[in-house]
Structure 1
Amino acid sequence: MKKTVILFLLVTAFSSVNAQTSYSGTELKQKCDSILEEGNTLYKYEKAAWIGSDLAMEKKEIKKDFGGLLIYQRNDSISAVVLAKEGTKCIYEVIFKNGSNNPCKESLIVRDLTGIEKSLQQIKKKMFNEALNNEKYQVNCPQGYNINMELIPYELGYKLYFILGTSQSKVIPFGNDYIFFGDKEGQITSWRKIHSRLIFSPTEYEGNKVRGLTHSHLKTEPFISATDICTFKLYGSLYELNEFEVLSTGLRKYFKYKLKENEIETRDM
Protein backbone atom coordinates (compact mmCIF):
# COMPACT_ATOMS: atom_id res chain seq x y z
CA MET A 1 0.00 0.00 0.00
CA LYS A 2 1.35 3.42 -0.92
CA LYS A 3 1.86 5.94 1.84
CA THR A 4 0.46 9.44 1.80
CA VAL A 5 2.75 12.34 2.58
CA ILE A 6 2.51 16.03 3.33
CA LEU A 7 4.85 18.08 1.19
CA PHE A 8 6.23 21.34 2.57
CA LEU A 9 7.57 23.64 -0.15
CA LEU A 10 9.90 26.28 1.22
CA VAL A 11 9.32 29.02 -1.28
CA THR A 12 8.51 32.67 -1.04
CA ALA A 13 5.82 35.12 -1.92
CA PHE A 14 6.39 38.83 -1.86
CA SER A 15 5.02 42.22 -2.71
CA SER A 16 6.48 45.68 -3.05
CA VAL A 17 4.68 47.23 -0.08
CA ASN A 18 5.22 47.12 3.66
CA ALA A 19 2.97 44.63 5.43
CA GLN A 20 0.92 45.02 8.58
CA THR A 21 2.14 42.53 11.19
CA SER A 22 -0.79 42.33 13.59
CA TYR A 23 -4.53 41.88 13.12
CA SER A 24 -7.42 41.50 15.54
CA GLY A 25 -9.61 38.42 15.24
CA THR A 26 -12.30 40.47 13.49
CA GLU A 27 -9.80 42.03 11.08
CA LEU A 28 -8.31 38.62 10.33
CA LYS A 29 -11.70 37.14 9.49
CA GLN A 30 -12.66 40.10 7.32
CA LYS A 31 -9.40 39.82 5.41
CA CYS A 32 -9.80 36.07 4.90
CA ASP A 33 -13.43 36.49 3.80
CA SER A 34 -12.37 39.09 1.23
CA ILE A 35 -9.56 36.89 -0.11
CA LEU A 36 -11.90 33.89 -0.29
CA GLU A 37 -14.48 35.89 -2.24
CA GLU A 38 -11.82 37.06 -4.70
CA GLY A 39 -10.43 33.55 -5.05
CA ASN A 40 -13.90 32.17 -5.77
CA THR A 41 -14.52 34.86 -8.39
CA LEU A 42 -11.19 34.22 -10.06
CA TYR A 43 -11.96 30.49 -10.08
CA LYS A 44 -15.34 31.07 -11.77
CA TYR A 45 -13.59 33.03 -14.52
CA GLU A 46 -10.82 30.48 -14.98
CA LYS A 47 -13.14 27.45 -14.88
CA ALA A 48 -15.39 29.08 -17.47
CA ALA A 49 -12.29 29.62 -19.63
CA TRP A 50 -11.24 25.98 -19.24
CA ILE A 51 -14.64 24.56 -20.14
CA GLY A 52 -15.38 27.13 -22.84
CA SER A 53 -12.03 26.48 -24.50
CA ASP A 54 -12.48 22.69 -24.38
CA LEU A 55 -15.96 22.92 -25.89
CA ALA A 56 -14.71 25.27 -28.61
CA MET A 57 -11.87 22.92 -29.55
CA GLU A 58 -14.39 20.10 -30.05
CA LYS A 59 -16.06 22.06 -32.87
CA LYS A 60 -14.03 22.13 -36.08
CA GLU A 61 -15.60 25.32 -37.41
CA ILE A 62 -14.83 27.14 -34.14
CA LYS A 63 -11.36 25.67 -33.65
CA LYS A 64 -10.09 26.86 -37.03
CA ASP A 65 -11.09 30.49 -36.33
CA PHE A 66 -10.31 30.53 -32.58
CA GLY A 67 -8.91 33.94 -31.67
CA GLY A 68 -8.99 33.85 -27.87
CA LEU A 69 -11.45 34.09 -25.02
CA LEU A 70 -13.16 36.92 -23.19
CA ILE A 71 -14.62 35.96 -19.80
CA TYR A 72 -16.91 38.34 -17.95
CA GLN A 73 -19.69 38.39 -15.39
CA ARG A 74 -23.20 39.47 -16.31
CA ASN A 75 -25.55 39.62 -13.31
CA ASP A 76 -25.44 36.09 -11.81
CA SER A 77 -23.91 34.50 -14.92
CA ILE A 78 -20.41 34.08 -16.33
CA SER A 79 -20.03 34.32 -20.11
CA ALA A 80 -17.19 32.70 -22.03
CA VAL A 81 -17.02 34.47 -25.39
CA VAL A 82 -14.87 32.89 -28.10
CA LEU A 83 -13.45 35.55 -30.38
CA ALA A 84 -12.77 35.17 -34.08
CA LYS A 85 -9.14 35.56 -35.11
CA GLU A 86 -9.84 39.07 -36.39
CA GLY A 87 -10.95 39.93 -32.83
CA THR A 88 -14.17 41.89 -33.33
CA LYS A 89 -16.75 39.12 -33.50
CA CYS A 90 -18.07 36.43 -31.19
CA ILE A 91 -18.18 33.05 -32.96
CA TYR A 92 -19.25 30.95 -29.96
CA GLU A 93 -20.55 31.70 -26.48
CA VAL A 94 -21.00 29.53 -23.40
CA ILE A 95 -22.91 30.82 -20.35
CA PHE A 96 -22.63 29.48 -16.80
CA LYS A 97 -25.19 30.38 -14.13
CA ASN A 98 -24.72 30.67 -10.34
CA GLY A 99 -21.18 29.31 -10.38
CA SER A 100 -22.17 26.01 -12.04
CA ASN A 101 -19.58 24.11 -14.08
CA ASN A 102 -22.33 22.99 -16.46
CA PRO A 103 -23.26 25.50 -19.18
CA CYS A 104 -26.85 26.69 -19.08
CA LYS A 105 -26.63 28.03 -22.64
CA GLU A 106 -24.48 27.67 -25.74
CA SER A 107 -24.69 29.74 -28.90
CA LEU A 108 -22.99 29.25 -32.28
CA ILE A 109 -24.48 32.44 -33.70
CA VAL A 110 -21.76 34.67 -35.13
CA ARG A 111 -22.32 38.23 -33.92
CA ASP A 112 -20.60 41.52 -33.29
CA LEU A 113 -19.31 42.13 -29.78
CA THR A 114 -21.60 44.15 -27.54
CA GLY A 115 -20.50 47.54 -26.28
CA ILE A 116 -19.53 46.07 -22.91
CA GLU A 117 -17.59 43.25 -24.55
CA LYS A 118 -15.72 45.66 -26.83
CA SER A 119 -14.78 47.83 -23.86
CA LEU A 120 -13.59 44.88 -21.76
CA GLN A 121 -11.58 43.45 -24.64
CA GLN A 122 -9.90 46.80 -25.32
CA ILE A 123 -9.04 47.26 -21.63
CA LYS A 124 -7.69 43.73 -21.35
CA LYS A 125 -5.58 44.11 -24.48
CA LYS A 126 -4.23 47.49 -23.34
CA MET A 127 -3.26 46.26 -19.87
CA PHE A 128 -1.80 43.03 -21.25
CA ASN A 129 0.38 44.84 -23.78
CA GLU A 130 1.70 47.27 -21.17
CA ALA A 131 2.38 44.50 -18.64
CA LEU A 132 4.13 42.26 -21.17
CA ASN A 133 6.19 44.91 -22.95
CA ASN A 134 7.35 47.05 -20.01
CA GLU A 135 10.61 45.64 -18.67
CA LYS A 136 9.93 46.84 -15.13
CA TYR A 137 7.25 44.18 -14.68
CA GLN A 138 9.57 41.34 -15.77
CA VAL A 139 6.71 39.04 -16.72
CA ASN A 140 8.00 35.56 -17.52
CA CYS A 141 6.58 32.09 -18.05
CA PRO A 142 8.48 28.91 -17.11
CA GLN A 143 8.92 26.33 -19.85
CA GLY A 144 6.10 23.79 -19.92
CA TYR A 145 3.57 26.25 -18.48
CA ASN A 146 1.27 28.94 -19.85
CA ILE A 147 0.02 32.23 -18.46
CA ASN A 148 -3.74 32.65 -18.19
CA MET A 149 -5.21 36.15 -17.89
CA GLU A 150 -8.44 37.23 -16.27
CA LEU A 151 -9.76 40.80 -16.21
CA ILE A 152 -12.02 41.55 -13.25
CA PRO A 153 -13.72 44.96 -12.83
CA TYR A 154 -13.75 46.59 -9.39
CA GLU A 155 -14.79 49.94 -7.94
CA LEU A 156 -11.66 51.85 -9.02
CA GLY A 157 -11.24 50.24 -12.42
CA TYR A 158 -9.88 46.83 -13.34
CA LYS A 159 -7.69 44.06 -11.99
CA LEU A 160 -5.79 41.92 -14.48
CA TYR A 161 -4.52 38.63 -13.05
CA PHE A 162 -1.79 36.53 -14.59
CA ILE A 163 -1.86 32.96 -13.25
CA LEU A 164 -0.04 29.84 -14.37
CA GLY A 165 -1.61 26.89 -16.09
CA THR A 166 -0.11 23.59 -17.17
CA SER A 167 -1.01 20.45 -19.09
CA GLN A 168 1.54 18.46 -17.10
CA SER A 169 0.07 15.73 -14.93
CA LYS A 170 0.53 15.23 -11.19
CA VAL A 171 1.53 18.82 -10.47
CA ILE A 172 -0.26 21.91 -9.12
CA PRO A 173 1.24 25.15 -10.54
CA PHE A 174 1.25 27.64 -7.67
CA GLY A 175 3.25 30.85 -8.00
CA ASN A 176 4.73 33.01 -10.74
CA ASP A 177 1.51 35.03 -10.57
CA TYR A 178 0.87 38.74 -10.99
CA ILE A 179 -1.87 41.27 -10.37
CA PHE A 180 -2.08 44.57 -12.25
CA PHE A 181 -4.44 47.33 -11.13
CA GLY A 182 -5.76 49.62 -13.86
CA ASP A 183 -7.90 52.75 -13.86
CA LYS A 184 -11.17 53.12 -15.76
CA GLU A 185 -9.22 53.64 -19.01
CA GLY A 186 -7.01 50.59 -18.47
CA GLN A 187 -3.86 52.48 -17.54
CA ILE A 188 -1.84 50.42 -15.04
CA THR A 189 -1.61 52.29 -11.74
CA SER A 190 0.04 49.64 -9.54
CA TRP A 191 1.03 46.01 -9.60
CA ARG A 192 2.77 43.23 -7.76
CA LYS A 193 4.19 39.80 -8.37
CA ILE A 194 2.40 37.77 -5.73
CA HIS A 195 4.90 34.89 -5.48
CA SER A 196 8.55 35.24 -6.31
CA ARG A 197 8.63 32.27 -8.68
CA LEU A 198 6.99 29.04 -9.76
CA ILE A 199 6.11 26.76 -6.86
CA PHE A 200 6.43 23.30 -8.40
CA SER A 201 3.99 21.27 -6.31
CA PRO A 202 3.93 17.56 -7.21
CA THR A 203 0.97 15.46 -6.14
CA GLU A 204 3.18 12.38 -5.78
CA TYR A 205 6.53 12.12 -4.00
CA GLU A 206 8.82 9.11 -4.29
CA GLY A 207 5.90 6.98 -5.40
CA ASN A 208 3.65 8.10 -2.54
CA LYS A 209 0.49 10.13 -2.91
CA VAL A 210 0.67 13.62 -1.43
CA ARG A 211 -2.32 14.39 0.79
CA GLY A 212 -1.35 17.92 1.81
CA LEU A 213 0.72 20.81 0.44
CA THR A 214 2.29 23.74 2.27
CA HIS A 215 4.28 26.69 1.00
CA SER A 216 5.52 29.81 2.77
CA HIS A 217 4.97 33.53 2.27
CA LEU A 218 7.37 36.26 3.34
CA LYS A 219 6.39 39.06 5.72
CA THR A 220 5.42 41.40 2.89
CA GLU A 221 2.76 38.98 1.58
CA PRO A 222 1.38 37.70 4.88
CA PHE A 223 -1.91 36.14 3.74
CA ILE A 224 -2.96 33.25 1.59
CA SER A 225 -3.69 34.70 -1.87
CA ALA A 226 -6.72 34.62 -4.15
CA THR A 227 -4.51 33.03 -6.80
CA ASP A 228 -3.50 30.28 -4.34
CA ILE A 229 -7.18 29.48 -3.79
CA CYS A 230 -8.10 29.63 -7.47
CA THR A 231 -5.22 27.37 -8.49
CA PHE A 232 -6.04 24.79 -5.82
CA LYS A 233 -9.75 24.80 -6.72
CA LEU A 234 -8.79 24.12 -10.35
CA TYR A 235 -6.25 21.37 -9.74
CA GLY A 236 -6.79 19.95 -6.24
CA SER A 237 -9.90 17.97 -7.07
CA LEU A 238 -8.10 16.36 -10.03
CA TYR A 239 -5.78 14.64 -7.55
CA GLU A 240 -8.26 14.02 -4.71
CA LEU A 241 -6.71 16.73 -2.54
CA ASN A 242 -8.96 18.66 -0.18
CA GLU A 243 -6.63 21.12 1.54
CA PHE A 244 -3.36 23.03 1.46
CA GLU A 245 -1.68 25.51 3.78
CA VAL A 246 0.25 28.74 3.54
CA LEU A 247 2.78 29.50 6.26
CA SER A 248 2.81 33.24 6.97
CA THR A 249 6.21 34.21 8.37
CA GLY A 250 4.95 37.76 8.93
CA LEU A 251 1.92 36.86 11.03
CA ARG A 252 3.36 33.59 12.38
CA LYS A 253 0.21 31.78 11.35
CA TYR A 254 -0.89 28.99 9.07
CA PHE A 255 -3.73 29.63 6.64
CA LYS A 256 -5.45 26.41 5.59
CA TYR A 257 -7.82 26.32 2.65
CA LYS A 258 -10.33 23.44 2.62
CA LEU A 259 -11.77 22.70 -0.78
CA LYS A 260 -14.98 20.82 0.05
CA GLU A 261 -15.93 23.32 2.74
CA ASN A 262 -14.64 26.26 0.66
CA GLU A 263 -13.28 27.98 3.74
CA ILE A 264 -10.06 29.34 5.22
CA GLU A 265 -8.94 28.27 8.68
CA THR A 266 -6.17 29.96 10.66
CA ARG A 267 -3.92 28.66 13.42
CA ASP A 268 -0.86 29.99 15.19
CA MET A 269 2.61 28.66 14.52
Structure 2
Amino acid sequence: MRTILITLILLNTIWGSLCAQTEELTEIAIEGANLFSSEMASWYGTDLALQKYPKLQEELGGYFSYTKGDAAICAFYSKEEQPAVICTVSFDADYRLDKAIIAADRRAFTPEEQILYGMRVVAQQAIKTDTLFKHYRNTNLNIIPLVRNNVRKVYVLTGPNVSGVVIFGNDYLLTFDEHNKLTGTKKLHKDIMVLKYSKVEDSATTMHTHLPETGPFITATDICTLRLYEKFAGWKEHVVVSQTDVSIWNCAHDILVGRPRKEWEKQGQNNEESH
Protein backbone atom coordinates (compact mmCIF):
# COMPACT_ATOMS: atom_id res chain seq x y z
CA MET A 1 0.00 0.00 0.00
CA ARG A 2 2.84 2.37 0.91
CA THR A 3 4.55 1.63 -2.44
CA ILE A 4 1.34 2.37 -4.35
CA LEU A 5 0.88 5.64 -2.43
CA ILE A 6 4.43 6.77 -3.16
CA THR A 7 3.96 5.90 -6.84
CA LEU A 8 0.75 7.94 -7.01
CA ILE A 9 2.45 10.92 -5.37
CA LEU A 10 5.31 10.72 -7.86
CA LEU A 11 2.90 10.46 -10.79
CA ASN A 12 0.92 13.46 -9.54
CA THR A 13 4.14 15.44 -9.12
CA ILE A 14 5.31 14.57 -12.63
CA TRP A 15 1.87 15.29 -14.11
CA GLY A 16 1.68 18.62 -12.29
CA SER A 17 5.13 19.58 -13.56
CA LEU A 18 4.21 18.66 -17.14
CA CYS A 19 0.96 20.63 -16.96
CA ALA A 20 2.78 23.68 -15.58
CA GLN A 21 5.38 23.42 -18.36
CA THR A 22 2.67 23.08 -21.02
CA GLU A 23 0.80 26.12 -19.67
CA GLU A 24 3.95 28.23 -19.64
CA LEU A 25 4.93 27.21 -23.17
CA THR A 26 1.40 27.92 -24.38
CA GLU A 27 1.53 31.39 -22.84
CA ILE A 28 4.93 32.05 -24.43
CA ALA A 29 3.64 30.94 -27.85
CA ILE A 30 0.58 33.21 -27.56
CA GLU A 31 2.69 36.18 -26.52
CA GLY A 32 5.09 35.48 -29.39
CA ALA A 33 2.17 35.36 -31.82
CA ASN A 34 0.99 38.77 -30.63
CA LEU A 35 4.44 40.25 -31.10
CA PHE A 36 4.65 38.69 -34.55
CA SER A 37 1.27 40.17 -35.56
CA SER A 38 2.39 43.61 -34.46
CA GLU A 39 5.73 43.43 -36.26
CA MET A 40 4.19 42.08 -39.46
CA ALA A 41 1.71 44.97 -39.51
CA SER A 42 4.57 47.41 -38.92
CA TRP A 43 6.81 45.84 -41.58
CA TYR A 44 4.26 45.86 -44.36
CA GLY A 45 2.28 48.85 -43.12
CA THR A 46 5.21 51.26 -43.35
CA ASP A 47 6.06 50.06 -46.87
CA LEU A 48 2.48 50.38 -48.15
CA ALA A 49 1.75 53.72 -46.47
CA LEU A 50 4.93 55.40 -47.71
CA GLN A 51 4.47 54.00 -51.20
CA LYS A 52 0.97 55.39 -51.46
CA TYR A 53 1.63 58.64 -49.57
CA PRO A 54 5.32 59.60 -50.03
CA LYS A 55 4.75 62.95 -48.30
CA LEU A 56 3.64 61.15 -45.16
CA GLN A 57 7.29 61.08 -44.10
CA GLU A 58 7.31 64.88 -43.75
CA GLU A 59 4.84 64.94 -40.86
CA LEU A 60 5.41 61.45 -39.46
CA GLY A 61 6.21 61.29 -35.76
CA GLY A 62 6.15 57.52 -35.44
CA TYR A 63 3.93 54.45 -35.58
CA PHE A 64 2.73 51.47 -33.59
CA SER A 65 0.69 48.38 -34.40
CA TYR A 66 -2.02 46.42 -32.64
CA THR A 67 -4.74 43.86 -33.29
CA LYS A 68 -8.46 44.51 -33.31
CA GLY A 69 -10.61 41.45 -33.83
CA ASP A 70 -9.10 39.55 -36.75
CA ALA A 71 -7.36 42.61 -38.13
CA ALA A 72 -3.81 43.84 -37.52
CA ILE A 73 -3.51 47.62 -37.75
CA CYS A 74 -0.48 49.86 -38.13
CA ALA A 75 -1.24 53.43 -37.01
CA PHE A 76 0.95 56.38 -37.99
CA TYR A 77 0.89 59.56 -35.92
CA SER A 78 2.04 63.12 -36.51
CA LYS A 79 5.05 64.78 -34.90
CA GLU A 80 3.05 67.66 -33.45
CA GLU A 81 3.13 68.45 -29.73
CA GLN A 82 -0.38 67.01 -29.54
CA PRO A 83 -0.12 64.23 -32.16
CA ALA A 84 -2.99 62.74 -34.11
CA VAL A 85 -3.36 59.62 -36.21
CA ILE A 86 -2.65 60.59 -39.82
CA CYS A 87 -2.79 57.18 -41.52
CA THR A 88 -3.67 53.57 -40.79
CA VAL A 89 -3.03 50.34 -42.67
CA SER A 90 -5.20 47.33 -41.80
CA PHE A 91 -4.44 43.70 -42.66
CA ASP A 92 -6.40 40.48 -42.54
CA ALA A 93 -5.08 37.39 -40.76
CA ASP A 94 -3.00 36.36 -43.80
CA TYR A 95 -1.41 39.80 -44.30
CA ARG A 96 -2.51 39.86 -47.94
CA LEU A 97 -1.02 43.06 -49.31
CA ASP A 98 -3.68 43.28 -52.02
CA LYS A 99 -6.35 43.16 -49.31
CA ALA A 100 -4.75 45.80 -47.07
CA ILE A 101 -6.91 48.86 -46.34
CA ILE A 102 -5.04 52.18 -46.27
CA ALA A 103 -6.78 55.20 -44.77
CA ALA A 104 -5.13 58.63 -44.59
CA ASP A 105 -7.82 60.41 -42.57
CA ARG A 106 -6.52 62.60 -39.73
CA ARG A 107 -8.24 61.80 -36.44
CA ALA A 108 -7.70 61.63 -32.69
CA PHE A 109 -6.29 58.56 -30.98
CA THR A 110 -8.81 56.00 -29.80
CA PRO A 111 -8.50 55.18 -26.06
CA GLU A 112 -6.62 51.99 -26.94
CA GLU A 113 -4.26 53.87 -29.27
CA GLN A 114 -3.62 56.55 -26.65
CA ILE A 115 -2.36 53.87 -24.25
CA LEU A 116 -0.08 52.32 -26.88
CA TYR A 117 1.24 55.72 -27.93
CA GLY A 118 1.93 56.69 -24.32
CA MET A 119 3.89 53.51 -23.65
CA ARG A 120 5.87 53.95 -26.85
CA VAL A 121 6.91 57.47 -25.87
CA VAL A 122 8.06 56.31 -22.43
CA ALA A 123 9.98 53.41 -24.01
CA GLN A 124 11.68 55.75 -26.49
CA GLN A 125 12.86 57.96 -23.65
CA ALA A 126 14.10 54.96 -21.66
CA ILE A 127 16.12 53.73 -24.63
CA LYS A 128 17.79 57.15 -24.90
CA THR A 129 18.63 57.52 -21.21
CA ASP A 130 18.94 54.04 -19.65
CA THR A 131 22.38 52.47 -20.09
CA LEU A 132 20.79 49.02 -19.86
CA PHE A 133 19.90 49.32 -23.54
CA LYS A 134 22.73 48.40 -25.89
CA HIS A 135 23.09 49.60 -29.47
CA TYR A 136 24.93 47.64 -32.15
CA ARG A 137 26.07 48.64 -35.61
CA ASN A 138 23.74 47.74 -38.49
CA THR A 139 20.79 47.19 -36.17
CA ASN A 140 17.67 48.97 -34.95
CA LEU A 141 15.84 48.71 -31.64
CA ASN A 142 12.19 48.03 -32.51
CA ILE A 143 9.57 49.08 -29.96
CA ILE A 144 6.46 46.88 -29.66
CA PRO A 145 3.80 48.15 -27.21
CA LEU A 146 1.33 45.48 -26.18
CA VAL A 147 -1.80 45.37 -24.02
CA ARG A 148 -3.08 41.88 -23.28
CA ASN A 149 -5.41 40.78 -20.50
CA ASN A 150 -5.26 44.38 -19.22
CA VAL A 151 -1.49 44.06 -18.72
CA ARG A 152 0.58 46.82 -20.31
CA LYS A 153 4.08 46.13 -21.55
CA VAL A 154 6.57 47.07 -24.22
CA TYR A 155 8.98 44.67 -25.85
CA VAL A 156 12.12 45.98 -27.52
CA LEU A 157 13.69 43.75 -30.17
CA THR A 158 16.92 44.18 -32.09
CA GLY A 159 16.38 44.01 -35.84
CA PRO A 160 19.09 43.83 -38.51
CA ASN A 161 19.66 46.55 -41.08
CA VAL A 162 21.38 44.07 -43.41
CA SER A 163 20.00 41.01 -45.13
CA GLY A 164 21.02 37.41 -44.56
CA VAL A 165 21.11 37.51 -40.76
CA VAL A 166 18.72 36.76 -37.91
CA ILE A 167 19.32 38.33 -34.50
CA PHE A 168 18.36 36.76 -31.19
CA GLY A 169 18.95 38.60 -27.93
CA ASN A 170 19.60 42.21 -26.99
CA ASP A 171 15.87 42.31 -26.27
CA TYR A 172 14.05 43.93 -23.39
CA LEU A 173 10.74 43.97 -21.54
CA LEU A 174 9.30 47.15 -20.03
CA THR A 175 6.28 46.88 -17.74
CA PHE A 176 3.75 49.59 -16.94
CA ASP A 177 0.95 50.25 -14.46
CA GLU A 178 -2.60 51.29 -15.38
CA HIS A 179 -1.46 54.92 -15.65
CA ASN A 180 1.32 54.10 -18.15
CA LYS A 181 3.96 54.65 -15.49
CA LEU A 182 7.06 52.56 -16.10
CA THR A 183 7.35 49.98 -13.29
CA GLY A 184 10.16 47.73 -14.50
CA THR A 185 12.79 47.20 -17.16
CA LYS A 186 14.34 43.80 -17.82
CA LYS A 187 16.92 42.53 -20.28
CA LEU A 188 15.58 39.23 -21.62
CA HIS A 189 18.79 37.77 -23.08
CA LYS A 190 22.17 38.57 -21.61
CA ASP A 191 23.90 38.30 -24.99
CA ILE A 192 23.23 38.98 -28.65
CA MET A 193 23.34 36.08 -31.11
CA VAL A 194 23.61 36.55 -34.87
CA LEU A 195 22.77 33.61 -37.14
CA LYS A 196 23.53 33.89 -40.84
CA TYR A 197 21.52 32.29 -43.62
CA SER A 198 21.99 32.16 -47.37
CA LYS A 199 19.89 29.86 -49.54
CA VAL A 200 16.27 29.23 -48.73
CA GLU A 201 16.79 25.63 -49.91
CA ASP A 202 19.14 24.92 -47.01
CA SER A 203 16.23 24.03 -44.70
CA ALA A 204 18.57 23.83 -41.74
CA THR A 205 17.99 23.12 -38.09
CA THR A 206 19.42 25.99 -36.05
CA MET A 207 20.04 26.46 -32.34
CA HIS A 208 20.89 28.92 -29.61
CA THR A 209 21.34 28.54 -25.86
CA HIS A 210 19.87 30.32 -22.87
CA LEU A 211 21.73 31.26 -19.73
CA PRO A 212 19.87 30.76 -16.42
CA GLU A 213 19.04 34.48 -16.31
CA THR A 214 16.92 34.14 -19.45
CA GLY A 215 14.89 31.22 -18.12
CA PRO A 216 14.40 27.58 -19.06
CA PHE A 217 12.29 28.07 -22.19
CA ILE A 218 12.25 29.88 -25.49
CA THR A 219 11.10 33.50 -25.14
CA ALA A 220 8.19 35.26 -26.82
CA THR A 221 10.74 37.48 -28.57
CA ASP A 222 12.51 34.39 -29.92
CA ILE A 223 9.23 33.13 -31.38
CA CYS A 224 8.45 36.51 -32.91
CA THR A 225 11.90 36.63 -34.54
CA LEU A 226 11.59 33.07 -35.83
CA ARG A 227 8.19 33.70 -37.38
CA LEU A 228 9.45 36.87 -39.06
CA TYR A 229 12.50 35.27 -40.66
CA GLU A 230 12.02 31.48 -40.81
CA LYS A 231 10.56 31.44 -44.32
CA PHE A 232 13.30 33.70 -45.71
CA ALA A 233 15.98 31.56 -44.06
CA GLY A 234 14.37 28.27 -45.07
CA TRP A 235 14.81 26.83 -41.60
CA LYS A 236 13.20 23.54 -40.69
CA GLU A 237 13.31 23.94 -36.93
CA HIS A 238 15.01 25.98 -34.25
CA VAL A 239 16.13 24.58 -30.90
CA VAL A 240 16.65 26.61 -27.72
CA VAL A 241 18.68 24.81 -25.06
CA SER A 242 18.81 25.84 -21.40
CA GLN A 243 20.35 24.07 -18.40
CA THR A 244 17.15 22.15 -17.67
CA ASP A 245 14.91 22.24 -20.74
CA VAL A 246 14.85 22.24 -24.52
CA SER A 247 12.33 24.20 -26.60
CA ILE A 248 11.82 23.01 -30.18
CA TRP A 249 10.13 25.36 -32.65
CA ASN A 250 8.77 23.77 -35.83
CA CYS A 251 9.27 26.48 -38.44
CA ALA A 252 7.08 24.86 -41.08
CA HIS A 253 3.97 24.62 -38.90
CA ASP A 254 4.74 27.17 -36.13
CA ILE A 255 4.40 24.59 -33.37
CA LEU A 256 6.26 24.71 -30.06
CA VAL A 257 7.30 21.58 -28.15
CA GLY A 258 9.17 21.48 -24.85
CA ARG A 259 11.22 18.62 -23.44
CA PRO A 260 13.48 18.11 -20.43
CA ARG A 261 17.10 18.47 -21.51
CA LYS A 262 18.13 15.08 -20.10
CA GLU A 263 15.39 13.34 -22.11
CA TRP A 264 16.34 15.24 -25.27
CA GLU A 265 20.04 14.40 -24.87
CA LYS A 266 19.23 10.76 -24.17
CA GLN A 267 17.18 10.49 -27.36
CA GLY A 268 20.06 12.06 -29.30
CA GLN A 269 22.47 9.49 -27.91
CA ASN A 270 20.09 6.68 -28.74
CA ASN A 271 19.72 7.96 -32.31
CA GLU A 272 23.50 8.07 -32.69
CA GLU A 273 23.86 4.52 -31.35
CA SER A 274 21.20 3.20 -33.73
CA HIS A 275 23.05 4.44 -36.82
TM-score, length-normalised on structure 2? 0.80
Q: Which of the residues 183, 194, 202 maps onto 2:188? A: 194
For 2:27 and 2:41, the matched residues in 1 are separated by 21
| CA deviation profile, 1:57-103 (whole Å, cap 9, x unmatched) | 21312233322112122233221111123261222111123363545
Please state if 1:119 is matched with 2:115. Answer: yes
Please state if 1:223 is matched with 2:231. Answer: no
C-alpha displacement of 1:36 = 0.5
C-alpha displacement of 1:149 = 0.6
For 1:162 and 1:191, the matched residues in 2 are separated by 10
TM-score, length-normalised on structure 1? 0.82
- Contact 1:203-1:210 at 8 Å conserved across structures: no
Greater RCO, CA 8 A, separation 6+: 1
Q: 1:72 — aligned with what?
A: 66
Residues 239 and 191 of structure 1, relative CA distance in 2, 3 Å threshold: same
Please state if 1:28 is matched with 2:17. Answer: no
For 2:116 and 2:221, the matched residues in 1 are separated by 21
Name the amino acid aligned to 2:25.
C
Q: Which of the residues 97, 100, 109 maps onto 2:95? A: 100
Q: 2:252 — aligned with what?
A: 260
Relative to its length, the structure with more helix (as a share) is: 2
- Contact 1:48-1:101 at 8 Å conserved across structures: no
Q: How does 1:1-269 map to 2 (within 5 A)?
A: 24-58=17-51, 59-86=53-80, 88-98=83-93, 100-102=95-97, 103-135=99-131, 138-155=132-149, 157-204=151-198, 209=202, 211-220=204-213, 221-249=215-243, 251=244, 253-267=245-259, 268-269=264-265
| Percent sequence identity over aligned pairs | 24
- Contact 2:154-2:174 at 8 Å conserved across structures: yes
Gaps of 5+ in 2: 1-14, 266-275
Q: 2:271 — aligned with what?
A: none
For 1:225 and 1:120, the matched residues in 2 are separated by 22
For 2:140 and 2:101, the matched residues in 1 are separated by 28
Relative to its length, the structure with more strand (as a share) is: 1
SS at match of 1:72: strand
Which of structures 1 and 2 has the bigger CA Rg? 2
For 1:234 and 1:115, the matched residues in 2 are separated by 29
For 1:236 and 1:257, the matched residues in 2 are separated by 10
- Contact 1:127-1:186 at 8 Å conserved across structures: no
Residues 101 and 37 of structure 1, relative CA distance in 2, 3 Å threshold: farther
Q: 1:3 — aligned with what?
A: none
C-alpha displacement of 1:191 = 2.9
CA RMSD of aligned residues (A): 2.3
Greater mean deviation of Cα atoms: 167-176 or 89-98: 89-98
For 1:53 and 1:248, the matched residues in 2 are separated by 36
C-alpha displacement of 1:116 = 3.0
| CA deviation profile, 1:109-141 (whole Å, cap 9, x unmatched) | 222323332232123212432354234xx1112
SS at match of 2:204: strand
Q: How many residues align?
A: 242
Name the amino acid aligned to 2:250.
K
- Contact 1:179-1:194 at 8 Å conserved across structures: yes
